């Protein structure tokens, strides 16, 4: 009898999983990775596709990264994107699904010579939330010792601070920085030349889940979209954002 019922139980189990909706947290607007309120972006599309392949529906929540990590810890979210095991938050982390190419950026007119992460300690800095954890131990040590280090929830604020000269250096992905130039061009002079300091290796990002089974299924879905070529198609969709 059990032998006859077993296939039916498997089908019912798969149907239950496919119907499950996960509350996924994404950060605030950071094109081309996440277009807040538009349900699209390079990073957004990859996560959505992997979850779809895993049989999950996605309910999206946007908030600053500090708030997302707190919501995950409280159980108000099932998972958050754009994080990794260095984040300081206990979670079940997926395989890497994307890399950001974070750099230190300053006005060329300042003439700074910055050859190491430690040398950033000489300057006032605006970075993205939780970067003090996500960018590695050397960066965290610099941030902790630098009284002029700050983290901003909104990328657009870093553009304003940089071009107005109110901070010496900003930390972020150049593609996000360039996108927001058009949004602040009426407030600051975005034609000023910039110098990019290649101090960081590409930053790997995972999805942090509360449940290991959901993480495992996401990883399977991620591998499936890589194997099918869908991952590459998503990358090509945003190739113009350079």
The string of DSSP codes covering 22-90 is EEEEE-S-BTTTBBTTTTB-HHHHHHHHHHHHTT-EEEEEE--HHHHHHHHHHTS-SEEEEE-GGGSS-
pLDDT value of residue 19: 57
Asked if residue 49 is part of any domain, the answer here is yes
Structural domain contains residue 242: no
The number of domains in the chain is: 2
In a domain, 5, yes or no: no
What's the whole-model pTM score?
0.87
- Return the pLDDT at 192: 98
Tokens of 80: 């958050």
- The answer to whether 39 and 60 are in contact (CB under 8 A) is yes
Task: Determine the pLDDT at residue 6.
Answer: 47
The SS3 call for residue 159 is helix
Beta bridge partners of 61: 25
pLDDT at 89: 86
| Residues of the chain where predicted confidence (pLDDT) is lower than 50 | 1-18
- The candidate with the shortest Cα–Cα distance to 81, out of 19, 139, 28, is 28
Structural domain range at position 72: 13-99+203-237
- Model pLDDT for residues 87-126, shown as the tens digit of each residue: 888 999 999 999 999 999 999 999 999 999 999 999 999 9
**Is residue 139 located within the same domain as residue 226?**
no
My answer on whether 20 and 95 are in the same domain is yes
pLDDT of res. 5: 46
Torsion of CA 204, 79, 158, 29, to 10 degrees: 110
Domain match, 34 and 53 both: yes
- What are the DSSP E strand ranges found in 147-240? 149-152, 169-172, 194-197, 203-209
Q: At CA 230, angle to CA 226 and CA 95, rounded to 5?
A: 35
Residue 241's pLDDT is 81
């Amino acid at each position: 009898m059990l032998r006859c019922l077993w296939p039916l139980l498997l089908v019912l189990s798969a149907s239950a999983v496919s119907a499950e909706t996960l509350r996924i947290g994404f950060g605030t607007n950071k094109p081309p990775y996440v277009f807040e309120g538009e349900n699209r972006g390079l990073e957004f599309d990859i996560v959505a596709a992997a979850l779809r392949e895993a049989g999950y529906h996605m309910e999206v929540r946007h908030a600053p990264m500090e708030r997302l990590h707190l919501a995950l810890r409280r159980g108000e979210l099932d998972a958050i994107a754009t994080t990794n095991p260095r984040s300081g938050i206990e979670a079940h982390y997926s395989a890497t699904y994307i890399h950001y190419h974070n750099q230190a950026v300053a006005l060329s007119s300042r003439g700074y010579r910055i050859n190491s992460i430690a040398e950033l300690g000489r300057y006032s800095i605006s970075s993205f939330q939780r970067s003090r954890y996500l960018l590695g131990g050397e960066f965290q040590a610099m941030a902790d010792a630098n009284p002029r280090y700050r983290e901003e929830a909104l990328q657009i604020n870093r553009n304003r601070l940089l071009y107005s000269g109110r901070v010496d250096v900003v930390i972020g992905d150049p593609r996000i920085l360039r996108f927001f130039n058009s949004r602040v061009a009426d407030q600051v002079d975005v034609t000023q030349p910039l110098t990019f300091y290649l101090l960081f290796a590409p930053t790997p990002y995972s999805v942090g889940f509360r449940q290991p089974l959901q993480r495992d299924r996401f990883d399977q879905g991620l591998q499936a979209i890589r194997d099918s070529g869908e991952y590459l198609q998503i990358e090509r969709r945003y190739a113009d954002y350079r």
